[in-house]
Amino acid sequence: MEQPQPAPGSLSWRLSSHPITLLTFLGFRVSSLLVYLFGLLFTDNLVMIFIITILLLAADFYYLKNIAGRRLVGLRWWNEVDPSTGDSHWVFESSEPGTKVINATDSRFFWIAIYAQPLFWIALAVVAVFSFKFIWLPLVAIALVLTITNSLAFSRCDKFSQASNIAGSAFNGGNLAGSIASNMVGRFFSR
């Protein structure tokens, strides 16, 4: 009996263009949450849970920023500091529009995981406050800073990429003013 093939863009890792990258990315995303949750439930060793969770969050931050973002959705970002002035600014990089085709499944997994993880950490912060376990709040705050930083940076990177693609297609794909004028003239005479 033949199993039905999932539709393109559905949440099935088998449809991914980079399944190992995707599974590693999701593994890092989920593992820090699981270590924190199971640590709360099964042990009172705050130091061990804190260290393991921080290491997993750091690995997730690095892997997402430098590997998964570039391979799954063609986006990368970093922060540069001007040595003469000390000013820092974010740099966004996206793949060239014609060189990389973004897999719909990879993109869906990526964006869902990017936005879902900060929401889970916010929920865990609320749980820590209402259960009077304030000692866990620094760990949750660090997790929120790392996950929200990646979320904001990739969101900006995606907006930058879309704006660059529109500008690039307008200037490289033909004369923008000419295409607007021909559309207007065509509409005027077609009536």
Give the pTM: 0.77
Q: How far apart are CA 24 and CA 105, in angstroms?
A: 15
Residue 49, phi then psi, degrees to nearest 5: -65, -40
What does the pLDDT profile of the chain (191 residues) look like in tens digits?
Answer: 566 666 665 667 777 888 999 999 999 999 999 999 999 889 889 999 999 999 999 999 999 999 999 999 989 999 999 999 989 988 888 887 667 788 888 889 999 999 999 999 999 999 999 999 899 999 999 999 999 999 999 999 888 766 555 555 544 554 444 444 444 433 333 33
